[in-house]
Amino acid sequence: MYNCTINFILPSPHSKCKMHAYSGQARPTFYRRCCNGSWNSWALRLLTLWVLITGCTAADTDITLDAKATLNHRIQSLDLLVFVFLLALTVLTIWLFKHHRVSWLHETGLAVIYGLIVGAIIRYAGTNTTLVHMQVEPQGVPTYNDKLPPDTLWFKYPVNQTNSTKLPEGVKTYAYVFRGQVYDIEENEIDLKATFDPEVFFNIILPPIIFYAGYSLKKKYFFRNLGAILTFAIVGTTLSAFLIGGLMYGCVKLMPKYLSSSFTFLDTLYFGALISPTDPLTILAIFNDLHVDVNLYALVLGESVLNDAVAIVLSGAIQNYGEHYSNTGEFETTAFLRSLSDFFSIFFLSLMIGAMMGCFTALLTKFTRVRDFPLLESALFVLMSYSTFLLAEATELTGVVAVLFCGICQAHYTYNNLSEDSRQRTKQIFELLNFLAENFIFSYIGVSMFTFPKHHFDAGFIITAFICAALGRAVNVYPLSWLLNIKRKPKISSNFQHMLFFAGLRGAMSFALAIRNTVSDARQTMLTATSLIVIFTVIIQGGAANFFLTWLKIPVGVDEETEQLNNYQVHSVYNSMDNSHSAPSDGYLQDVEGGTGGVGRGKARLSSGADSNLDTPIDGNAATAACGRRRNSHEKAILARIWGNFDTKYMKPLLTHSRPTLLETLPVCCNPIARLLTTTQQLTQDGSEFRRVDSDSDICIDNDTGNGLSQDGLAGGRRNSINRMEILEHVQSPVSTRIRLLGFYGKKL
Amino acid sequence: MYNCTINFILPSPHSKCKMHAYSGQARPTFYRRCCNGSWNSWALRLLTLWVLITGCTAADTDITLDAKATLNHRIQSLDLLVFVFLLALTVLTIWLFKHHRVSWLHETGLAVIYGLIVGAIIRYAGTNTTLVHMQVEPQGVPTYNDKLPPDTLWFKYPVNQTNSTKLPEGVKTYAYVFRGQVYDIEENEIDLKATFDPEVFFNIILPPIIFYAGYSLKKKYFFRNLGAILTFAIVGTTLSAFLIGGLMYGCVKLMPKYLSSSFTFLDTLYFGALISPTDPLTILAIFNDLHVDVNLYALVLGESVLNDAVAIVLSGAIQNYGEHYSNTGEFETTAFLRSLSDFFSIFFLSLMIGAMMGCFTALLTKFTRVRDFPLLESALFVLMSYSTFLLAEATELTGVVAVLFCGICQAHYTYNNLSEDSRQRTKQIFELLNFLAENFIFSYIGVSMFTFPKHHFDAGFIITAFICAALGRAVNVYPLSWLLNIKRKPKISSNFQHMLFFAGLRGAMSFALAIRNTVSDARQTMLTATSLIVIFTVIIQGGAANFFLTWLKIPVGVDEETEQLNNYQVHSVYNSMDNSHSAPSDGYLQDVEGGTGGVGRGKARLSSGADSNLDTPIDGNAATAACGRRRNSHEKAILARIWGNFDTKYMKPLLTHSRPTLLETLPVCCNPIARLLTTTQQLTQDGSEFRRVDSDSDICIDNDTGNGLSQDGLAGGRRNSINRMEILEHVQSPVSTRIRLLGFYGKKL
């Protein structure tokens, strides 16, 4: 009844980062036994000693309790410290790798490997202790008249040890807080070490990663490939989820009885949903380094960003189907339709909340002059972005999805209203947060392979999962590419399709979804398979990407337009605005001139996916010319063109300081309102009228902002961070670049 | 026995940010009833409806449980959202105030006022609900053989409602986790709304504030006034704590019985310790704006930074005295000595850990070339700084103190090794974190006045506390100033002393210490008094600071040396390094040239205390000259001179790229080691030999780093962020500035 090994809880390696994660705690996952590492075995002895030495009065219980609390706090600190040191080690090793130009292992792969090593050490070096638990029953005659278990239990601890007199003050009442359901009462001996509440991922780790992904989408090419990206992300992910779900269900049913009986179709479908989203961090880093075709880059990035959002909503809908709508777990039309409507309504409402909050921030920054105080402005930006997440969560929508679209809107509108200082600051902050969060989650994937107690290895399932995941990716890519190619102007070549297929690494989102619910055997088997798929794809597939690119003869260094625009920009900056470029670009330029460090150096800036995408503001005149020449581009999707038109006519004039103003685009009857929504700054700047015709490029927006800023006397300070690789190339072969530059303009005109 | 009002827990507005805060949870504070705001009354009804509609099978319990968990999560999100919006509102209002040049209310005062308003709304608009709790007893025959209560309770919830059949699967076991002791079993009806676990302050909010304080200490003047600062901070704070403790004890004993009986001398002493640290944010912001005498500035800043550290360790020692060493609470020599040794050992060990981690980071950044990748470098910097906190907490020291000294070392050594990008990034990140944390804590002080359930108003105590706090501050300032003036070269004038007295606002640290422990009536009375003192001093004293400065005829605009150095720098930058200054300084310069925004604009950068202190790197030649001329300065304290000597000879050569190298300063026998610890960069740069003689100025370090950097081809990118006010002045009266500049060199030579 009352297990009394001396031992310590660590309820808080879970609660460690429990930023509003209680919902998680109450989910069925929660029977968690607690955990300590090797480091607390001595502390254990110490406390035992303490207990033995001190007497047995009530006051001693207090002191022991206090010592235990202190000990817990220390163990948690140590626990976190392990991860912080792990990250620091990863950072240093990444530097070493970059320094020695090791390209076969990306930082996320490194984080996973370090995590695996540390996890193994913690597992095999630690002492196993379980926590004390006691079965209790209500005092007096129990008359339950509530459906729910009570929120807290008050437990009178009667200090009636043999050697203590039963004083009235010896009776203490302790409060116990509801944690969750206990599923496997027998399962006593496993302990959790250095594990976190899975909800931490959804509430703390994923939001900055996803926000940064949105905030740094390479927008021009993103919008140009909008149709393909949406098809891949929404149709493809759903297709892949259902295919994997179906295939896995079939395979599982052929497996031994114990496994097949624990899986329902919903389980395998959930698995399909969680294994479908891709996370091609490694691939994108390599793409960035090698200047792979921008359209391919945009496809891979855009798809991976959006399919995360699709997958989280899809898996939520599947879970809802199982929990609320269908009692049998079998197909029911109404339940299916309700789940379907859930899926769409949650996705689009989350999208709307995110977009609205983004636009609201844009309005705030447009109509106040908070930009005069960059610190206040950055604080406002961060607060508004975070409140988007909270708002979505508070309205039972998906915070991660909201934050993604908020990020996109912030980059598309708000970014243009920000002061130079805030642009840099917000980018750098979210870049750093993203870097830390990414590496944390990947090292945790490694650590948890050994420390998370709910792994369930089944070779058959794992192999099937690997095959199905690959098949799912294939279904996501090839048929849809074929469909898209029917209408698409620059066709997606078969080599590109292979690369898209190959870029289907699995990452943070799959892992977070898998570890969220580990209540049944089926779920635990899925978690193990998912972890292994993530580790395998990140290390092996990520490492082989370079080789694969060469093998598929994907053209590298073809990032023509941006590159040439940038070169153009370099010239104009050099020629006309000698002191207008800021520290970072300076650093690069001089880096090039210094000639040290070589290729390796540039990677830090390029490594985190789409780093350079926001770095293409262009000095006013150059961009004006460039945009003028580019307006005849035929490459845009129809969807993008319609949206671009609306965006240029109404959204940008409303939300940013860009021209044309609403006075020009709205009907005459709306003039009073339009005047109200147009700032003086917008009216007084020299217009770039041509943009009314056609614009989908953020380079053009930046151009406008540049004009706005220069009138404000601030333009000199704007940041022209130039992709170092391009400059290198430019420096090395100015002639060929100029020829290509000429070719580019020739083509465009 | 079993209270069954329908209601909801919010165990997690507390656990919301429970980054390793478990120790807190187990402390005696923790009987927390849970809380919801007005917003969940409709949700309450919704859930009740749900419960009524759905049937009564076990599956329904699951669903209800799930719905409840979801609801909890939503309420927590809303709870956090309130604070995020509050902060956003504060940011916007601060901008408005700065825009309209309102100077009688500082941002922290504003945050407090908004907090008070929102707190009142939450309190009076919310519905009061309590949470369900149930008294339980062990199942079967209890045989306790452990001193501690069990870590978890397993509660079989037998779903034996009237309308459900008793199925075996109807019995569910729920886990309950230990929270803490219940002190007042009767106290049922109060609920916590929008309150946080007090440990959140110590583990999340205070560390970035304190780190930033250390990272941005105006080092030159700090070291020059080291003796006075240490005297005020260590001796003064202790003196003040004991005086307040003694006075309060005497006064309390004269008060009505119910109050006097609840206070022990330790309680009042604890009150003395927590009310002694000052937090002159508002004052420093005004000092910064008006360019008050730098020595006065350094005294106020240095003292406030250090006395926070002293107070937290002192209050810890007092608490230990009461809990561990003394049973009676009366004076016992051994117990007193043990507490005293606790105080010193914890303080100095924390200091050592902080300093060591700072130096370790400096070594890492010196001997690796991680600076080639600013993102990695910034990540390393942040991780190492955070691990200092965790390390100190894990070794039962004081994380906040460790983080303070880590910040000082990071600024003194590591900062010089960082790349330009990282310098800016780390400064901006910690500046933003500091801003958000500060405003969060001040708005929480306001909110908690209404929502925190454990306030205990007692007019007599509050008035006495106000008087004693003022007296304590007086004892801190006047006698010590008199003592210091005996030996001190530039005497602390009586007006400066009055200003020091007046700058004794109370802030975040006092509040955090007061709310940490609210277990007894005495502690609750102390919390109320502390909150009121903080609110009063921040709003009234902070608002009157401007007036007081004028009234005391404190010279403003006398920030001579820095100012003139900066002007000198502006010249050299203008004349010789046209494209060497980066965006922020650019922004300022053009801001001045543009002439818009006026004085108000500069405030954003200046507002957060010592913002500009790290902003005085000086272009190589200028600084070389300046340092050479300044080396004869007689103003330094003896302590500072000894330290400065050691620092220049051994520490800086070891930890940074500065000259002289260890090869020159160490005895010949140590040459091999010295060679190992000296980088090529250090050897190849042009030496500034004279610095071996005498250096206490960080301007000189920056100079060296500048040299190192320029050889690396990066110097062009370094940041010469210039205090805008000074430039303004310079632009407005170039002649007078030059005269003063001449005067300055004349004086120094």
Please give the average per-residue pLDDT across A629-645, as a whole number. 61
Residue B407: is its pLDDT beyond 90?
yes
Instruction: Name which of A77, A323, A712 is nearest B390 (Cβ-Cβ).
Output: A77
Please give the average per-residue pLDDT across B308-332, as a whole number. 78
* Nearest-angstrom CA–CA distance, A551 and A545: 10
Sign of torsion over alpha carbons A270, A276, A277, A281: positive
Looking at residue B531, its pLDDT comes to 94
Place B637 in a pLDDT band, splitting at 50, 70 and 90. low
* Cβ pair B9:A178 closer than 8 A: yes
pLDDT tens per residue across span A432-462: 999 999 999 999 999 888 888 778 888 889 9
Residue B406: is its pLDDT beyond 90?
yes
Looking at residue B73, its pLDDT comes to 80
Residues 6+ apart with CB under 8 A from A656: A362, A366, A413, A416, A417, A701, A704, A705
- Of residues A657 and B567, the one with the higher pLDDT is A657
Looking at residue B543, its pLDDT comes to 83
User: Which of A117-126, A385-394, B300-309 is least confident?
Assistant: A117-126
User: Which of A564-573, B62-71, B419-428 is least confident?
Assistant: A564-573
Looking at residue A12, its pLDDT comes to 33
Looking at residue B396, its pLDDT comes to 85
Q: What percent of chain A has pLDDT over 70?
A: 62
Please give the average per-residue pLDDT across A552-563, as a whole number. 64
CA distance A683 to chain B (A): 18
Looking at residue B146, its pLDDT comes to 58
Looking at residue B130, its pLDDT comes to 53
Please give the average per-residue pLDDT across B717-745, as a whole number. 38
Interface of A with B in 370-409 (CB under 8 A): 370, 372-376, 378-380, 382-384, 386-387, 390-391, 393-396, 399
Q: How far is CA B311 from CA B236, B275, B317, in A?
A: 11, 9, 10
Residue A405: is its pLDDT beyond 80?
yes
Choose from A548-557, A594-603, B374-383, B737-746 the range with maximum mean pLDDT: B374-383
Looking at residue B329, its pLDDT comes to 55
Q: What percent of chain B has pLDDT over 70?
A: 62
User: Which of A57-71, A78-92, B319-333, B390-404 is least confident?
Assistant: A57-71
Residues of B in contact with A436 (CB under 8 A): 379, 382-383
SS3 A37: coil
User: Which of A375-379, B115-119, B193-197 is least confident?
Assistant: B193-197
CA trace torsion B697, B698, B702, B705 (10° rounding): 90
Looking at residue A371, its pLDDT comes to 85
What is the ipTM metric for this complex? 0.75
Looking at residue A149, its pLDDT comes to 67
Q: How far is CA B642 from CA A668, A734, B638, B694, B696, in A?
A: 77, 56, 6, 10, 10
Nearest chain A residue to B15 by CA: give it. A18
Q: How far is CA B637 from the centre of its chain?
A: 27
Choose from A203-207, B97-101, B330-334 the range with maximum mean pLDDT: A203-207
Residue A732: is its pLDDT beyond 90?
no
Residue type, B386: Y
pLDDT tens per residue across span B425-451: 999 999 999 999 999 999 999 998 888
- The overall average pLDDT reported for chain A is 70
Residues 6+ apart with CB under 8 A from B185: A154, A173
Looking at residue A164, its pLDDT comes to 42
Residue B511: is its pLDDT beyond 60?
yes
- Joined together, the tokens standing for residue A613 give 């995408």
Residue A575: is its pLDDT beyond 60?
no
Residue B595: is its pLDDT beyond 50?
no
* Nearest-angstrom CA–CA distance, B511 and B112: 12
DSSP annotation string for B585-637? HHHHHHHHHH--SHHHHHHHHHSSSSGGGG-----HHHHHHHHHHHTT---S-
Residue (of A231, A264, A226) closest to A245 by Cα position: A264
CA distance B695 to chain A (A): 29
* Cβ pair B380:A91 closer than 8 A: yes
Residue (of A391, A394, A418) closest to A405 by Cα position: A391
N residues, chain B: 749
Place B465 in a pLDDT band, splitting at 50, 70 and 90. very high
End-to-end CA distance of chain A: 84
Q: What is the DSSP code (8-state) at residue A104?
A: S
- Of residues B615 and B233, the one with the higher pLDDT is B233
- Of residues B385 and A678, the one with the higher pLDDT is B385
* Cβ pair B594:A712 closer than 8 A: yes
Residue B549: is its pLDDT beyond 80?
yes
- Of residues A281 and B338, the one with the higher pLDDT is B338
pLDDT tens per residue across span B663-712: 878 887 888 888 888 877 777 765 444 343 333 333 333 333 333 333 33
- Joined together, the tokens standing for residue A188 give 């006593």
SS3 B505: coil
Place A582 in a pLDDT band, splitting at 50, 70 and 90. very low
* Nearest-angstrom CA–CA distance, A162 and A539: 59
Looking at residue A243, its pLDDT comes to 93
Burial class (CB in 10 A: 0-12, 13-18, 19+), A653: buried
Place B491 in a pLDDT band, splitting at 50, 70 and 90. confident
Please give the average per-residue pLDDT across B609-635, as a whole number. 40
CA trace torsion B73, B76, B77, B79 (10° rounding): 160
Residue type, A166: K
Please give the average per-residue pLDDT across B65-87, as a whole number. 81
CA distance B628 to chain A (A): 28
Q: Which of A73, A172, A188 to mutate to test the interface with B (most CBs of B within 10 A)?
A: A73
Residue A93: is its pLDDT beyond 80?
yes
- Of residues B126 and B10, the one with the higher pLDDT is B126
Interface of A with B in 213-232 (CB under 8 A): none
Residue A85 sits at φ, ψ, to 5 deg, of -65, -40
Looking at residue B578, its pLDDT comes to 36
Residue B587: is its pLDDT beyond 50?
no
Residue B402: is its pLDDT beyond 60?
yes
Looking at residue B325, its pLDDT comes to 65
CA trace torsion B346, B351, B352, B355 (10° rounding): 160
pLDDT tens per residue across span A484-508: 888 777 788 888 889 889 888 898 8
